[in-house]
Amino acid sequence: MLNCVKCGVPSAAGQRFCGNCGTALDAGLDVGKLIDERLAARLKDQKLVELETAQAVIARIGEWTKLFGYFVAVPLAILVVVLTVLGFKQYSDLVRAVESSKQDLSKQLDAIKSEFAAAAVAGKTARTEGDKLNQEIAQIRKTVDLTQAEKIRSELEHLSARVTGIESRFKVSGAGVSNTLERSLTAALARFADYMEAIGFNAKRAPATVTIANDVGLNSYYDPLGAKVMVGRELANVESEPSTVLWAYAQHLMTLENKAVFSSNNGPAAALVNAVPDYFVASHLNEPRIGRGFPGAAKGYLRNLDNQRQFDPNVTEPHDVGEIWGGVFWTVRKTAGQAVTDRLVYTFWKGLRLGDFGDKTGISAARRLDEAARGVADGKYASLVRELLQARNLKF
């Protein structure tokens, strides 16, 4: 048995502490040191746990920071770049811009609503006006129908009178002539007759018979005895070249104005009988070349009034001399104009006398032209005519 050194209570052998007060029975055992060691060990384990915990927390925070940088910092960086590109220095500038855009859109929306309302009102008004317009159109159609009927009736009357007027000036005749050719020929002759009447010729004084015949060949001429215009069938295509047909008809109209000329169609007289119709046909067509495309024509035409040829005693062929006279007329036309020159040549033709053609030099005819020039347009172009005649070697 061992007695406790502190309380004296005996304890069984082998016990290390007193059962009464807990005092160590082994005197060599340092309880305080043992407690300190245990506490130190406990604290060491606690600090290690705390340190490991702190490291784990720091590591986790680092991972969270990386995630934050990926999901927050990167978009923020992109936002900064976008703002810079768009010209915004700060996020607040973007906010203000968005707010301003919202206000503008709101105003535009209000304006659209207002316009839509106005359009609805206008549409209603338009429908009302459309109904009125439809009524007016219906009334106009009734009036137009009546007007058209009256117009057609008037045109038929005019056409009938026109046909009657054409028959009083000429009649196309020819065996085997197609309806198309007859209509084309009639229309071309009618236009030329209108033109000649406007100058002063009387196409209704006596109608001519325009005969298209095979036996005429490559020719067209006027027979004053029967008032016949004879045209070869190959020359009757007035759509491409009407001058040869009009030329012969012009001689018919010229005969009605001055029959004395055709009582002698030789020598100088024949030249003017060719030159004057040459001019009137060329002036009507506004084309100085006569007989374009004439079969066998060396130059592609028969005569050209746009020339500077001079009178020559050695040139006696009627058509050839007529081309020189025609050149005089056409040159005057270039300066004086069509209307004045047409009237001048008409006056010249009417003033010619049979005795004027007895002078083979042409001086008598030149004096008649000079006289006509002094009586047309107040004699404004008389000096021009004299100068042209003298320049072409016809002095008087």
Type of residue at 327: G
Q: Given this model, what pLDDT does residue 256 score?
A: 92
Type of residue at 95: V
Confidence of residue 344 (pLDDT cuts 50, 70, 90): very high
Q: Are residues 273 and 326 in the same domain?
A: yes
| Residue 250 maps to a domain | no
At CA 328, angle to CA 195 and CA 274, rounded to 5?
60
- With a cut of 50, say whether residue 159 has pLDDT above it: no
At CA 296, angle to CA 292 and CA 301, rounded to 5?
20
Q: Given this model, what pLDDT does residue 312 score?
A: 93
- With a cut of 50, say whether residue 162 has pLDDT above it: no
Q: What residues contact residue 268 under an 8 Å CB cut-off, 6+ apart? A: 321, 357, 358, 359, 360, 362, 365
Tell me the percentage of the chain whose pLDDT exceeds 70: 72
Task: Give CA–CA dist 386/396, Å, rounded.
Answer: 9
| Residue 189 maps to a domain | yes
375/179: higher pLDDT: 375
Confidence of residue 285 (pLDDT cuts 50, 70, 90): very high
Measuring CA to CA, which residue among 150, 162, 167 is closest to residue 209?
Answer: 167
The CATH number given to whatever domain includes residue 375 is: 1.10.390.10
Q: Given this model, what pLDDT does residue 268 score?
A: 56
| Residue 124 maps to a domain | no
- With a cut of 60, say whether residue 157 has pLDDT above it: no
| Residue 262 maps to a domain | yes
If you average pLDDT over every residue of the chain, what do you get? Answer: 80
Q: Given this model, what pLDDT does residue 180 score?
A: 85
Task: Give CA–CA dist 235/294, Å, rounded.
Answer: 8
- With a cut of 50, say whether residue 314 has pLDDT above it: yes
Q: Are residues 215 and 301 in the same domain?
A: no
Q: What residues contact residue 162 under an 8 Å CB cut-off, 6+ apart? A: 190
| Residue 108 maps to a domain | no
Single residue among 68, 87, 106 that ends a domain in this structure:
87
Confidence of residue 303 (pLDDT cuts 50, 70, 90): very high
Question: How many contiguous H segments (helices) and E segments (strands) does the chain have?
Answer: 10, 8
| Residue 284 maps to a domain | yes
Q: Are residues 272 and 372 in the same domain?
A: yes
Q: Are residues 230 and 268 in the same domain?
A: no
Range of the domain at 64: 58-87
Q: Are residues 280 and 349 in the same domain?
A: yes
- With a cut of 90, say whether residue 238 has pLDDT above it: no
- With a cut of 70, say whether residue 107 has pLDDT above it: yes
Tokens of 272: 């003017």
* Residues 195-220, mean pLDDT to the nearest whole number: 91
Q: Are residues 235 and 265 in the same domain?
A: no
Q: Are residues 306 and 208 in the same domain?
A: no
Q: Given this model, what pLDDT does residue 43 score?
A: 64
The answer to whether 249 and 263 have CB atoms below 8 angstroms apart is no
| Residue 35 maps to a domain | no
Q: How far is CA 89 from CA 98, 100, 103, in A?
A: 14, 17, 21
* Residues 384-396, mean pLDDT to the nearest whole number: 95
Confidence of residue 128 (pLDDT cuts 50, 70, 90): confident
Type of residue at 51: L
Number of structural domains (the chain) is 3
Answering whether pTM is above 0.85, one says: no
Q: Are residues 262 and 327 in the same domain?
A: yes
- With a cut of 90, say whether residue 117 has pLDDT above it: no
H or E element at residue 127: helix 91-167
Q: Are residues 344 and 269 in the same domain?
A: yes
Q: Are residues 233 and 295 in the same domain?
A: no
Q: Given this model, what pLDDT does residue 109 score?
A: 73
Q: Are residues 267 and 366 in the same domain?
A: yes
- Quick: pLDDT tens for 21-58: 887 776 555 556 666 777 666 666 666 656 666 676 66
Within 10 Å of residue 27's Cβ, how many Cβ atoms? 7
Q: Are residues 341 and 388 in the same domain?
A: yes
| Residue 271 maps to a domain | yes
71/4: higher pLDDT: 4
- With a cut of 90, say whether residue 279 has pLDDT above it: yes
343/218: higher pLDDT: 343
At CA 189, angle to CA 292 and CA 252, rounded to 5?
90
Q: Given this model, what pLDDT does residue 156 score?
A: 39
- With a cut of 60, say whether residue 230 has pLDDT above it: yes
